[in-house]
Each structure stands twice: as structure tokens, then as C-alpha cells.
């Protein structure tokens, strides 16, 4: 039996607790022994109170402690752990494992996904990016990760940093482009729904083509007339800036990428 | 029986020919009577040669002529049609119907989707944006459109222009962000596949949230430390420009959109 303890009560922590809880119930060899939260009530809808602690000194022994708190709090939380030489990992995409306290063996258990509070997630298809200081710990992390996901990757700190930047482009920035599409629709009394099949196909194309092969539109075909018409249409400075910056990038780099 | 003629042999034209052909075969009340191409051979894999013409003077009588050629060629093609007072539409997202020759009744039949040569499309879920000069023509266009799609919208020329700009943001620009994500992965020996569940969830979230509600990431939470680290990581000028431009837009407009 591998005993897992989750430290934190935020979005990712709660999704992990739910997932490990159902693993424990299904008689898997992974057991969620406890969760820590500064405020027990914030987890009381997920676990019986006796399985929640708000005191680091009452943390039960476990094979793996997963710290899932905001980036800024990881170091302080790992400093506060009152034990030594156990396996302690964090779930952050942007932090190296070196921010964890040297008292314990370090690692990373980073689920590469965007989590929405209250929206159930299926961890099976969420990539888990693992890193550890030694091979034995990696094997344990891998066993735990494979119990909840089909997509488990060894990703070192440099790669994870790159991945986090890439994730900002394909998630945060893409979502902002969706926002602008939505805004343009609203201003012109067009239902945003009308754009969704296009957004889906933009993504589905990548099952058969690389994004560079899939690139279409006025920028890549250097259609200056359409570009000029679009730029004249856009009255908001931020939209125009984005249009120009992305058009230029597609034209200069689209084919070279 | 509604007789349809398709003029053009490009990507959209070929997809329309395939779709109307299967309608004709299924005993629907829509009949594809003919297609025009400058080079008959370019359509000979889709239609029997006797149903293809390369001469406008041998165009058969039809209730609807759909001109599906590049934007720059629409006016010239419509000028070349040797008949009068028939319903002639184009399939362009960026052109008003006024570019069509006055000899005939004008309209637009714009499928809002990105088409890939050789990749079959299911028109059922492709939004069709219709416009015409009068109600009778609109009814006919609507009947034809509803025979191939569940998503039929009345969209006037101003709206279509806005929609085309919005489509550039959510399709062309989003795809370029995917390219950059792919590029960052390649440079760091990370499989691009690892980002796909995130890209899918970014889109799926919009089934429950507006894009403005779904916005996450360092820009919207004003996490200057992470933003600075990402900017230091990005060595390519175009990537850095895009990062800065989109971060600024999210920070200034994200909540107001």
C-alpha cells in the first residue's frame, strides 16, 4: 500500500483529493491517508473531519506528501514540515523542486491542465509531469501517477519551465483570443456560438497536421488587402495591437517555425 | 426540385460539391446540376465529365449559382455569367454581396469553417451565414442551407465582416499560438502531445463559462514574478512581442471585455 497525503485546499488540491479518494475506495494500492488545510472546513465537503488536519505536527506518516498550494507558499509549507527524509513533492508548473526544503527528498507531481472550481475532471487524460531526485522515488511517483492517469511523463525542471511558458501561449493567450472573438460578436449582435465549430476544427486539424502546416488566413498568404481591411475595422487599441503583432509573427516566422 | 450550380474548383467548392452530390443521391429536393471549373480535370474526381463545364456559355439553368472562388476573382466571374436575373451568391466571409454583378440577384452563402484539402468535413455542424437582396431569395437559400447544415444564420454584410475578423482571432491567431507552443516543446525535447489535453480543455471550458470568466494565468492574476521569468525565458523576438502584447491586453481589458 502506498500512503499519500495531500497538503493544500485549493483548486488542484481538491481535484487531487477527489481523485485519490475514489482510488482508495476502489481498493487500489494507493491510499489517501490525510489532507492538510489551514481551515479544516474548506475540505470538509470532500473528506471526513478525522482525515483532515490543520496542524503540521499531526501529519500522519505517508510515503508521499503532495504540496498543492500557491507558488509563493510552497517553500514556507515545506519548511514547516516537522519530519525528515520523506518524499515531498509540489504540483507547480513554474517552480523548480529546489525550492522545497532540504530536510526531505524532493520531487514534482505537475498535472498539466487548467482546473475549474466545481467542474469535475477526469484525471485519466491529464498529463502528469514527474521529477524526483533519485530513481527509487521516481518509481514511486510513477506508480502513483499511473494509477490516476494514462499520460505520465518524466519532465525535468528546465523542461517544465519551458512547458509552463508554452502552456501560457496555448491556454491563457488562446483563451484571450476567444474573448476578443466573443467581444467582436457581441458588438455586432452575432451569437458567439457561431464561432465554436471553427474553434473546434482549428484544434481537431492538429490530429492530422502540425500547427505550421495547418496555418491559414490572410497573414500566411500575405493578403495585404484583407489585412488592411481588418486593421481598419479594429477600433480598440489592444485588438489592433494583437492583430498586428500576430500577423507580423505569422508572416516572419510562420513558415520557418 | 431546387437546382444548384457550383462555380469554382478550390477547397470550399470541392467540399460543397461533395456535400451537394450526396444530397442529390439521397433523393433530397436539392439537385446539383453542374459545376464549373476553368480546368475540367480539377473536378473530374468528384463528378462525371458531362456535369462539369469550363465554358460559362454552357452553364445550365439553375435556381442557385454558388460562386466559390478566391475573393479577388469573384467580381470577374460574376461579370462573366451570360444570363440575367438569376440568384447568384458567393461564399466569401470578407466580401460584401455588392461586388457581384448587378445583372443577377445577389446573395451570400458563407460556410464559417476552415477547410483542409482532402479532409472530409461534415457540413451538418458548419454554420452557414446567409444574406440576400429579398425575402424570396432568402427562403430559397435557407432551404438549401438547411438541407446540409443544422446551423443556419441570417448574417448581413456588416456582421459578416465582423465575423471574418473574429474568425481570424479564434482560428488563424490561435493556430499560431499552437505553433509557438509546438516550437517551445520541440526546442526542449518535449512531445507536443503533452499540451493537447490542455488545449482541448481551454475550449471545452467555454461550454460552461464565457471566455472572460475562463481566463486564468499570470497576466490576469497580475503575477509579475512569473511574467518576468517567462519574458526572460523567451529569446525569440516574435515570441516575446506576442507574450508582452497579449499579457498587456489581458491585464488592461481582460476584466472589462
Q: Is the dihedral of CA A52, A47, A3, A107 positive or negative?
A: negative
Closest CA to B217 of A98, A250, A62, A170: A170
Q: Is A173 on the interface with B (CB under 8 A)?
A: yes
Cell of A2: 502506498
For A103-133, the three-class secondary structure string (H helix, E strand, C coil) is CCEEEEEEECCCCCCCCCCCHHHCCEEEEEC
- Residue numbers of A between 108 and 167 with CB closer than 8 Å to B: 112-114, 116, 119, 125-127, 129, 151, 153, 155, 158-159, 161-167
pLDDT digits (tens, 9 = 90+) for B23-80: 877 767 999 999 999 999 999 999 999 999 999 999 999 999 999 999 999 999 999 9
> The CATH number of B2-155 is which of 3.40.50.300, 3.40.640.10, 3.40.50.970, 3.40.50.720?
3.40.50.720
Query: Can you tell me the distance from the alpha carbon of B214 to that of B203, in angstroms, rounded to the nearest whole number?
Result: 10
Q: Is B170 on the interface with A (CB under 8 A)?
A: yes
pLDDT of residue B117: 75
Q: Within its chain, how far is the Cα of A166 from the centroid?
A: 11
pLDDT of residue A255: 62
The yes/no answer to whether this complex scores an ipTM above 0.85 is yes
Contact B238 A253 (CB under 8 A): yes
Q: Across residues B154-166, what is the average pLDDT?
A: 96
Closest Cα in chain B, distance from residue A42 (Å): 22
**Chain A: residue nearest B151 by CA?**
A194
Q: How many CB atoms lie within 10 A of CB B72?
A: 10
Q: Answer yes or no: are the C-beta atoms of B198 and A170 closer than 8 Å.
A: yes
Q: Is B224 on the interface with A (CB under 8 A)?
A: no
Contact B168 A114 (CB under 8 A): no
* pLDDT greater than 70 at residue B255: no
Contact A241 B249 (CB under 8 A): yes
Q: What value, to the nearest 5°, has the Cα angle with vertex B35 and ends B34 and B39?
A: 135
Cell of B248: 498587456
Closest Cα in chain A, distance from residue B76 (Å): 17
Contact B172 A206 (CB under 8 A): no
Q: Answer yes or no: are the C-beta atoms of B69 and B7 closer than 8 Å.
A: yes
Contact B113 A174 (CB under 8 A): no
CB pairs under 8 A between A and B: 310
Query: Can you tell me the distance from the alpha carbon of A116 to that of A126, in angstroms, rounded to the nearest whole number?
Result: 14
Cell of B13: 467548392
* pLDDT greater than 90 at residue B253: no
Closest CA to A50 of A75, A33, A25, A63: A33
Indicate the domain borders of chain B.
2-155, 160-253
Domains B2-155 and B160-253 share a fold: no
Closest Cα in chain B, distance from residue A80 (Å): 23
Query: Can you tell me the distance from the alpha carbon of A183 to that of A177, in angstroms, rounded to the nearest whole number?
Result: 10
Q: Which residue, among B110, B121, B178, would best test binding to A if mutated, counting the most A CBs under 10 Å from its CB?
A: B178
- Residue numbers of B between 178 and 207 with CB closer than 8 Å to A: 178-185, 187-191, 194-203, 205-206
- Is the domain B160-253 a CATH 1.10.1040.20 member? yes
**pLDDT (tens place) for every residue of chain A, 257 residues total:** 999 999 999 999 999 999 999 887 776 799 999 999 999 999 999 999 999 999 999 999 999 999 999 999 999 999 999 999 999 999 999 899 999 999 999 999 999 998 877 777 888 999 999 999 999 999 999 999 999 999 999 999 999 999 999 999 999 999 999 999 999 999 999 999 999 999 999 999 999 999 999 999 999 999 999 999 999 999 999 999 999 999 999 999 866 44
**Residue appearing with cell numbers 486564468:** B216
Closest CA to B167 of A244, A171, A168, A200: A200
Contact B176 A241 (CB under 8 A): no
Integer distance in angstroms from the first to the last C-alpha of chain B?
A: 47
Instruction: Give the one of A195, A219, A249 whose C-beta lies nearest to B242's C-beta.
Output: A249
Contact A179 B94 (CB under 8 A): no
3-class secondary structure, B53: strand
pLDDT digits (tens, 9 = 90+) for A168-225: 999 999 999 999 999 999 999 999 999 999 999 999 999 999 999 999 999 999 999 9
Closest Cα in chain B, distance from residue A116 (Å): 8
Q: What value, to the nearest 5°, has the Cα angle with vertex A44 and ends A38 and A50?
A: 85
Measured between beta carbons, the chain B residues lying within 8 angstroms of A229 are 94, 161
Q: Which residue, among B181, B223, B240, B244, would best test binding to A if mutated, counting the most A CBs under 10 Å from its CB?
A: B181
* pLDDT greater than 70 at residue B254: no
Instruction: Give the one of A181, A205, A216 whose C-beta lies nearest to B170's C-beta.
Output: A181
Measured between beta carbons, the chain A residues lying within 8 angstroms of B212 are 179, 182
Instruction: Give the one of B116, B161, B166 whose C-beta lies nearest to A195's C-beta.
Output: B166
Contact A167 B174 (CB under 8 A): no
Q: Is B209 on the interface with A (CB under 8 A)?
A: yes
Q: Which residue, among B169, B199, B218, would best test binding to A if mutated, counting the most A CBs under 10 Å from its CB?
A: B169
Query: Can you tell me the distance from the alpha carbon of B89 to that of B78, in angstroms, rounded to the nearest whole number?
Result: 9
DSSP A171: I
Amino acid at each position: 500500500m502506498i500512503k499519500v497525503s495531500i497538503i493544500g485546499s485549493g483548486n488542484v488540491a481538491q481535484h487531487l483529493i477527489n481523485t485519490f479518494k475514489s482510488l482508495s475506495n476502489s481498493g487500489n494500492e494507493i491510499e489517501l491517508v490525510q489532507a492538510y488545510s489551514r481551515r479544516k472546513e474548506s475540505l470538509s465537503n470532500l473528506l471526513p473531519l478525522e482525515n483532515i488536519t490543520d496542524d503540521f505536527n499531526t501529519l500522519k506518516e505517508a510515503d508521499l506528501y503532495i504540496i498543492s498550494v500557491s507558488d509563493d507558499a510552497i517553500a514556507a509549507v515545506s519548511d514547516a514540515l516537522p519530519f525528515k527524509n520523506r518524499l515531498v513533492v509540489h504540483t507547480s508548473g513554474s517552480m523548480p523542486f529546489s525550492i522545497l526544503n532540504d530536510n526531505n527528498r524532493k520531487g514534482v507531481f505537475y498535472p498539466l491542465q487548467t482546473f475549474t472550481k466545481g467542474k469535475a475532471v477526469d484525471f485519466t487524460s491529464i498529463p502528469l509531469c514527474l521529477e524526483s531526485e533519485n530513481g527509487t522515488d521516481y518509481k514511486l511517483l510513477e506508480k502513483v501517477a499511473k494509477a490516476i492517469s494514462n499520460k505520465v511523463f518524466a519532465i525535468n525542471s528546465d523542461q517544465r519551465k519551458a512547458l509552463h511558458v508554452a502552456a501560457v501561449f496555448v491556454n491563457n493567450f488562446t483563451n484571450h483570443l476567444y474573448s476578443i472573438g466573443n467581444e467582436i460578436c457581441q458588438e455586432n449582435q452575432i451569437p458567439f456560438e457561431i464561432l465554436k465549430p471553427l474553434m473546434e476544427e482549428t484544434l481537431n486539424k492538429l490530429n492530422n497536421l502540425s500547427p505550421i502546416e495547418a496555418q491559414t488566413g490572410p497573414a500566411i498568404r500575405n493578403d495585404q488587402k484583407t489585412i488592411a481591411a481588418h486593421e481598419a475595422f479594429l477600433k480598440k487599441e489592444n485588438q489592433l495591437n494583437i492583430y498586428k503583432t500576430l500577423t507580423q509573427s505569422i508572416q516572419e516566422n510562420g513558415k520557418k517555425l
